[in-house]
Amino acid sequence: MRRIALLGATGSIGKQAIAVVDAAPDLELCALASGSSDLGKLAESHGVEHVQTGGDLTELLERAEPDVVLNAVVGFAGIGATLWALERGITLALANKESLVAAGDLALAARERGGGLLLPVDSEHSAVFQCLERSARESVESIVLTASGGPFRGRSREELADVTVEDALAHPTWNMGPKITVDSATLANKGLELIEAHVLFGLHYDRLEVVVQPSSIVHGLVRFRDGAALAHLGYPDMQVPISWALTYPARAATDLPQLDLASGLTLEFAAPDLETFPLLALARRAGELGGTHPCVYNAANETAVAAFLEGRLPFLGIADVVEAALDGADGAPARDLDELVEADAEARRLAEQGMPVA
């Protein structure tokens, strides 16, 4: 029996993870965490002893002693759990991309010391991980992350000036939590994923591509030096990468539908519109600069998205706030978690300063 600590149990990924665990006889939940939602009923119905709402997630993990940590917390709040699992060599199934973006160097060092598995749950990185398996590193030419393009694909900047929170939350292919849905609309999600891919797969940014694939059927590709490209396809359903990570390397059976190819499935691809959606290029810049610039990008984006959701910032203001924070931060590398937390806090201050006065 594999014992899973599910952090972010009440969220979009968390609920889908519970469905995966319920359907898999070899998996059981040993711990549940949320930010503020009550977990009483869920813990009771699943017989989970270790439960925590808010607070330091590593205390819960110490008590529960899981075999796998599924980190599905949203935002920088997931960082302690990511580092805890990596440091101890406990398998980390990672949905919380923000922790890897903000703490890439610390996470890689912790994984080196811990020696455990870091399995991406993000569908694109799960796809790329699977395409890369059993391939020699030097045979890889580049990695391609696919993007749906979000609800505003094809629109001009002018057309985005007055979009509402409701418009931004209407994602065409994925049903996700509010923060990542707004990130998908601005393409910051793909920016975070670009940095996540750099950390996970160790390729330089000039070998990481992003391409728009509106139906979200192709989740990721790897190009090889012999001219071949391997792709990972499937209907957009997060239960697939969640199940893959929780049952790795077994690839357990699911009830999810197989691709219906004969019904006339067509796949379209296009270049992303970097001018209308500047947060993708800003992420590349932050990643290439290195140090704590990715942490600043993430912190400023979290702050700006929260302000947008609260109605304090227009949609186009999100990128302006992130750019101003990146310009204002020194981006010096963090030697430990304390320094990273400081860089994160400073970036949030810079982001608040960049907000329009009400």
Cβ neighbourhood burial of 324 (10 Å; 0-12, 13-18, 19+): middle
Nearest-CB residue for ligand NAP:
11
User: Least CB distance from residue 188 to ligand NAP, whole Å?
Assistant: 10
What type of residue sits at position 45?
S
Tell me: cis bond preceding 214? Omega within 30 of 0 counts: no
What one-character DSSP code corresponds to residue 256? Answer: P
CA distance 189 to 181: 8
Listed in sequence order, the DSSP H helices in the chain are 12-23, 40-46, 57-64, 79-88, 97-102, 104-114, 123-132, 157-160, 165-168, 178-186, 188-201, 239-247, 279-289, 293-309, 317-328, 337-353
User: Least CB distance from residue 313 to ligand NAP, whole Å?
Assistant: 19
Q: What is the largest CA-CA distance in the chain?
A: 56
Is 306 a residue that touches ligand NAP (CB under 6 A)? no
Is 238 a residue that touches ligand NAP (CB under 6 A)? yes
CA distance 13 to 34: 12
Is 216 a residue that touches ligand NAP (CB under 6 A)? no
User: Least CB distance from residue 1 to ligand NAP, whole Å?
Assistant: 24
In terms of Cα–Cα distance, which of 325, 345, 351, 350 is closest to 76? 345
**Range 56-85, binding ligand NAP (CB under 6 A):** 57, 72-74, 77
User: Least CB distance from residue 295 to ligand NAP, whole Å?
Assistant: 15
Is 314 a residue that touches ligand NAP (CB under 6 A)? no
| Closest to ligand NAP by CB, 127 or 143 | 127
User: How many of the other CB atoms lie within 10 Å of CB of 290?
Assistant: 15
- Measured in degrees and rounded to the nearest 5, phi and psi for residue 132 equal -85, -20
Q: Which of 33, 147, 185, 304: binder of ligand NAP (CB under 6 A)?
A: 33
User: Where does this chain touch ligand NAP (CB under 6 A) — which range of 9-17, 42-50, 135-143, 346-354?
Assistant: 9-17
User: Least CB distance from residue 5 to ligand NAP, whole Å?
Assistant: 11
Q: Which of 5, 114, 122, 323: binder of ligand NAP (CB under 6 A)?
A: 122
Is 8 a residue that touches ligand NAP (CB under 6 A)? yes
User: Least CB distance from residue 154 to ligand NAP, whole Å?
Assistant: 23
Q: Which of 22, 26, 37, 154: binder of ligand NAP (CB under 6 A)?
A: 37
Q: Are 106 and 344 in contact (CB under 8 A)?
A: no
Is 246 a residue that touches ligand NAP (CB under 6 A)? no
Is 305 a residue that touches ligand NAP (CB under 6 A)? no
CA distance 226 to 302: 40
Is 236 a residue that touches ligand NAP (CB under 6 A)? no
Is 13 a residue that touches ligand NAP (CB under 6 A)? yes
**Range 145-184, binding ligand NAP (CB under 6 A):** 174, 176-177, 179-180
CA distance 57 to 84: 9
Q: Which of 87, 98, 273, 344: binder of ligand NAP (CB under 6 A)?
A: 98
Is 35 a residue that touches ligand NAP (CB under 6 A)? yes
Q: Are 274 and 280 in contact (CB under 8 A)?
A: yes
In terms of Cα–Cα distance, which of 143, 4, 148, 187 is closest to 85? 4
Task: Strand 68-71: give its sheet, edge to edge.
Answer: 50-53, 27-34, 2-7, 68-71, 91-94, 118-120
| Closest to ligand NAP by CB, 102 or 140 | 102
Is 127 a residue that touches ligand NAP (CB under 6 A)? no
User: Least CB distance from residue 15 to ligand NAP, whole Å?
Assistant: 8
CA distance 140 to 42: 44
Count of residues interacting with ligand NAP (CB under 6 A): 30
- The residue ranges that bind ligand NAP (CB under 6 A) are 7-14, 33-37, 54, 57, 72-74, 77, 95-98, 122, 174, 176-177, 179-180, 238
